[in-house]
Structure 1
């Protein structure tokens, strides 16, 4: 049997129950037939021969059959191929680039069907836990990028960089999702010895010292020795009744550098919200010309501003006594504060850290029409408007207690 040829054998007969035992009443015939579809076309040729199998009435001695037919061929749709998932990774073989290797599903190129090496991200910190930058490193003979693919196992790595000790480590990689490896790379150090001395060269007890403008603590004997990261190092010291002093030195690995800071005595103090002059700024009468006797005091203010970079903005306020015309006094106080600002700028203070505001006779400290009251009310004040050591979210915070300009 095929789609273009076939044979058949048919047996047909009839009988009644009442005449079941009578052979003459039960004719039976056998027919052998065949068919073909010439050329597998739509024409069908059928034929057959038959003969009686019993002597029943109606069964022919012989029968010949022949027929021609037209039967259009019905074309069957091709069977859908069965697509397998040979590696059981959830991706069928027709879209799986690696049908014999299961995908590792590590959140990295999981749709290609191929297992990838583990994605490793490297992060380097110094011994203080701070980011170590400017490094070169090699892992498994690959020049270091911040992220790379590595097979599972232990991979040696070397790290070098200016100012850091050459470091060797091992990247331990396990198969699976991306991982981060944190490696400590110690920075190189040298020794700094800081001494705070007075004009006679004697150490100042309980002086405080600073490193790169950051307070580091007290020096009970006026001296401290400590390990410091190599490079450009700014060392400072300050004490009650003295101006802050500082020096910048170059420190190399293994070196010992002694920094002696000669602190100058002063009555000027940096408070939370103002700079207390401990004295007065004098001007020529009814003029904005600063008297030479005030230069030393203003030089100390300039030194404070340069040694205290945390003082981001300082307002110079000028006041007069109550004598004279109100408008003249207002203008005079403004010109005098501008003169002080100009003087400080000439001494190296950045202009954007200073603002000037004259108030005339509108803000007296005391009342009275006498020399003592007038002298007290004639003054120049320095108020700290912003300072970075009181920062919030990286933005300088206005100092509480500082008067607001009117």
Structure 2
């Protein structure tokens, strides 16, 4: 026989003549196919667009996570017109529009409960319908037309996460329930009760952006019509509402669809199943919504099906009109929220500003609630003195001078006939130590950081018999050793050779660092090979290394020993930088590596000689800093330097 596949490709079999039956109808991969009359009279709701009963907070049929506040309500209607909602196609390519055009009004109402829940209902009414003859559905001479009632839908919704508490992220759960109240003849109703438990996750930005996504499972009894098998579905949707800059005006966009759980039938052989998209419609809508401050809201939009599955129209237009009563009496104080200045705090009817809706818990407005205020009608004077009792304190220190005249409200006047009218205890010698604590009330303390709290001047803080005014080291006792004893400073190293006098065998003669008894503090015969300047430790002999290696020649160890002695006898040198330099002979990279290795070798030798490694930095510069720039290859550029860092 000859049959047509859903994609329109022909195939041939040996029994092709028996297949050429007049009137054979075949649908493509996503349309209804007729292989034989269907006398079952199956009820089917072909419409998949099911708007929600609260159009103030939701995006047409995409649910947001928010709910109406307690006892707030909304009502209105959504009018929508769809074209090509239910179309079959014959073998010859002729399209039979079983349900061609539908103009429908969906009347809705919703009520908020307890600020976390919402109940709503919506009743669809087909005001106008049209379609071709239904002969292929065993209803010859019959058409879809006239007015038809749809199935009443109830929606019970509860908020799980409040966007205000989770940085704009909200979560809600809902159970829409469809009750068979509609017209099955015009495919506006199904004969059983259906449930669709669903979750909504949304995000609300403070600038007015709303994005929402829904996932739900539509539960119903399975029914078959020709090659369409309608069963339970996984329904999904997503939408966004964005502000336009005009107050109350938003642009909307939604996309939604369903994934049928059962397989459709093979249009060539209804006894066989086939993977198709007949029961998986997808649709897109876009438009705008306007909400007025007084509760009116409306929207206008349009869209189209993104495939040709049953329920996905060729196009759809919609208009919604509604009104929401978005105020109530949240705090149940008898004052409605639209005039209540404190909607979540009940008014306390005490005869004081009782019409503003706010509790007046502090009559004298002193910041202390009347229940704790010992003087509820007298304002506390906030002066950090007994401020918690709510009573004004006229004389905090009880010295007989009222606070408005008292320059020291929390310190009692000492009433010693000296400036007693200012309310402050006096300090006769004006040294900052009150007379009650001043051991020398008539002698001002010398504020020098030494025993200043006793009020007495301390002419010689360190007791070394050098008066502070002449003492260059106040707080450090002069060592009275006949060497500069008049400056008040201890002279711990008279000859400045780095060895303390207590360890220096020649305290008045500087040690010469020459490798001979450098730690006894006495000058020795022999020239020093090391000099100290402000910037560096100068060595008068080059430090020699084995050729092209970082190994120090034995003959250079003596000068390094003197460098170690200098560092030991000069603890004031906190850190030096050991610099390695080369000439320009050879590759620059190799020279830099070699200079770094040689600097580190010198550092390691000094550490072995007892110098703390934290005082030593080793840096190799290679040929970057020649001593003789005019002759970079000259051997004089190969050197080690000791620069004082701190």
Which has the larger share of strand?
1
Q: Which of the pair has more CA radius of gyration?
A: 1
TM-score above 0.5, yes or no:
no
TM-score (norm 2): 0.27
